[in-house]
Amino acid sequence: MKAAFMELGMCLWISPFVVDQTRNGIMARWRQAIELAMSDEEIAKLMAISRSRTEPASRVERAQMLLAYREEPSFFAVGKRLGIHHQVVQRCVERAVAYGPLAALDDRPRPGKEPTITPEAKAWLVSLACDKAKEHGYPHELWTTRLLARQPPKRDRAHATILYFSIRSAARGIFQL
């Protein structure tokens, strides 16, 4: 149960009613739906994302939530229809109101240390892994993480050191690329 203070008194939020305490007494009323305004262009993009099979599943699910909420503005009904908890729907809709519908599809940045491997280093590693190990002088047909860790990068010294230790950590299962 959440409580918020208003000018006239205390307002308690109890689902599906909002109970207001006013000067004259306690009144119950239906909860107000959050108005989610979207342009036709945003709706078209959300529909394309909701039908996509190549987008991440979290973006597809959030797009479906926003479109379903637009049709029927009820957290409970949308949650029941999509098989998710109503608070997940509420959080998604509130994020869409605050940041915009398309920005609400993405995950918020997580706390913690930024990755030490640069995108260029990852690209080099992927291109190396796409080659055959025999092309680089190894007797094996396919790469293993240990072979990749032994492969010396052809970059500057600092870049090579960071990449080398990151791949070695991955070979031991400590760090995932």
List pLDDT tens digits, range 84-124. 999 999 999 999 999 999 999 998 888 888 767 777 777 77
What are the extents of the domains in the chain? Answer: 1-32, 40-105, 119-171
Instruction: Write out residues in the chain with pLDDT < 50, as ranges.
Output: 1-15, 17, 173-177
The predicted structure's pLDDT at residue 99 = 92
**Number of H helices and number of E strands within the chain?**
7, 4
Q: Which helix (H) or strand (E) holds 160?
A: helix 157-171
- Output the pTM of the full model: 0.54
Cα separation, 50 vs 62, whole angstroms? 8
Cα separation, 177 vs 170, whole angstroms? 7
Which residues, in sequence order, are bridge partners of residue 10?
Answer: 5
The predicted structure's pLDDT at residue 120 = 75
The predicted structure's pLDDT at residue 139 = 84
The predicted structure's pLDDT at residue 135 = 83
The predicted structure's pLDDT at residue 158 = 55
